[in-house]
Chain A
């Protein structure tokens, strides 16, 4: 195909230097070559159509695009044996993201045993998109929305066939090696009960760039340190894998907090289960691109954080947990309060404080730009200063509501979705 294109290009170039009669001949040659190219291309033998049965599932191919993608799975270095991993995807009105999520699951280098989608009362086009993949995925449909992701996950868990289940979201794209890395982590250390993965934010605007900076600091520094002293405190909701039997017996779903991932992690700590952190289990997630939605999401995350700390306060009884939780919550609380008190006391001192903070953000932005090869991280890094105040305010607000006033909010916030742009 490449050589044909090259010949065409060469004849076109020559045509510019020939007289009109010769030009006609050359054009005629071009059309003949074009015709020959079509004939050759149409007669290239098509790729293998039959997908071997895995023993539990027989896949039938409907879509041409999926055919090609699926063939790449069959041709993976592990052969055609599937892993023991179920990917569970709760889905509520995810028509913009669910297709890319499913396709990323189908593109895994290590084939998942089962892809389980829990359609949590979607009223948009999600169900129609899921139906297109009905030959590849198992679908559990809940007729009325449960209003909380953990309800959907709980229902889905009943249908999990794998010994390990990988929890992700309907707006998340899995890296092609995610399942393979999950399996490797569990195989490396049999004591490991859960694996926390690495989340990257899909590029969109300044807010998602700032969120990516958050992820870089959180996952390349804090979580590595936490992992060193066995005190990993968040297994991300969109990148967490668990041993199914232990999860069913010890963890379960309580539905009494806004952040189910934190709830799982605290319970694992209380039961002395080992949590591994693997930075090679990568997922890409959509983060809010509007400030209002960002604030709502932060309310859910911070509110859920305080709810879980209140619920599982006894985890502080272990010094390693105590150190990390204090650094997170005590420092967060005092710093947030100071951020609003200092300008009232001395504006000059506050200005001097902001300058080093800005310098730190620029260094972080540069590091992020080099690490991710995304120069927008450097460009937008100063805007993170705005979010420092936003985060601090929401953190204090949620502390006041959840801890001081004891008003527990369990209303799930569902941000607006968008078409995935780039990874």
Chain B
């Protein structure tokens, strides 16, 4: 199965795991033994730690990652809605067109026309789709 769609988090986390693995292997070769690190590692992988605490930890990791990613994405989308969303951009452009029409300000109209935002017809000004 190929990589599923990723925004980059799995790539960064797995790069970190690969690097830590490389460092640990190098340290072992040099004669160092990280006993506390070994305990944490075993807590994740060893069968003897297969108890309720570890299961809670396992499900906790999944829930934590879900909540974290969901929060970040939701906040990001919310921020876009509040600040400079598509709706906001459209509103601003409609307001400019309205002002141009009301004031018959030819310069302003030409400026908008040059951007391709409005087209001139015989009777009115229409927002270009």
Contacts and interface: CB of A to CB of B under 8 A. Distances in A.
Interface of A: 211, 214-215, 217-218, 221-222, 224-226, 228-231, 234, 259, 261-262, 272, 301-302, 304-305, 316-323, 325-332, 334-339, 341-342, 344-349, 360, 388, 391-392, 395
A338 B73 contact: yes
B54 to A, nearest CB: 7
Contacts of B57: 319, 322
A342 B76 CA distance: 9
B17 A319 contact: no
B92 interface: no
Nearest to B41: A229
Contacts of A234: 1
27 contacts: A214-B2, A221-B15, A221-B18, A222-B3, A224-B21, A225-B17, A226-B14, A229-B21, A229-B45, A316-B59, A317-B55, A317-B59, A319-B58, A321-B58, A322-B62, A323-B44, A326-B65, A326-B66, A327-B10, A327-B13, A331-B9, A332-B4, A339-B5, A342-B77, A345-B80, A346-B86, A395-B5
Contacts of A332: 4-6
Contacts of A337: 73
Interface string B33-56: 000000001011101001000110
Interface residues of B, number: 44
Interface of B: 1-11, 13-15, 17-18, 20-21, 41, 43-45, 47, 50, 54-55, 57-59, 61-62, 65-66, 69-70, 73, 76-77, 80-81, 84-86, 89
A225 B58 contact: no
Given A225-B17, A342-B80, A302 B45 contact: no
Nearest to A199: B2
B55 A349 contact: no
A297 to B, nearest CB: 10
A229 B44 contact: yes
* Residue of B8, B18, B57, B81 with most chain A CB atoms under a 10 A cut-off: B18
Contacts of A349: 80, 84
A388 B58 contact: no
A269 to B, nearest CB: 11
A418 B4 CA distance: 26
A301 B2 contact: yes
A322 B61 contact: yes
B4 A329 contact: yes
A331 B44 contact: no
Give the secondary structure class of A's interface: helix
Closest 4 CB pairs of A and B: A225-B14, A228-B21, A332-B4, A214-B2
A333 B50 CA distance: 28
A335 B7 contact: yes
Contacts of B70: 334
B50 A318 contact: yes
A318 B58 CA distance: 5
Contact of B47 (A214, A231, A272, A339): A272
A234 B3 CA distance: 11
Contact of A322 (B8, B15, B58): B58
A391 B77 CA distance: 22
B10 to A, nearest CB: 4
Contacts of B69: 330-331, 334
Contacts of B21: 224-225, 228-229
B120 to A, nearest CB: 26
Nearest to B20: A228
A221 B109 CA distance: 55
A331 B84 contact: no
Contact of B62 (A224, A228, A259, A325): A325
A327 B54 contact: no
Contacts of B59: 316-317, 322
Contacts of B45: 229-231, 318, 320
Given A214-B3, A222-B3, A225-B18, A328 B84 contact: no
B17 A328 contact: no
Contacts of B13: 225, 323, 327
B1 A262 contact: yes
Contacts of A218: 2-3
A133 B43 CA distance: 51
Chain A CB within 10 Å, residue with most, of B44, B62, B76: B62
Given A301-B2, A322-B62, 16 more contacts: A221-B14, A221-B15, A222-B10, A228-B18, A228-B20, A229-B21, A261-B1, A305-B4, A319-B54, A321-B58, A323-B13, A338-B76, A342-B80, A345-B77, A347-B86, A348-B84
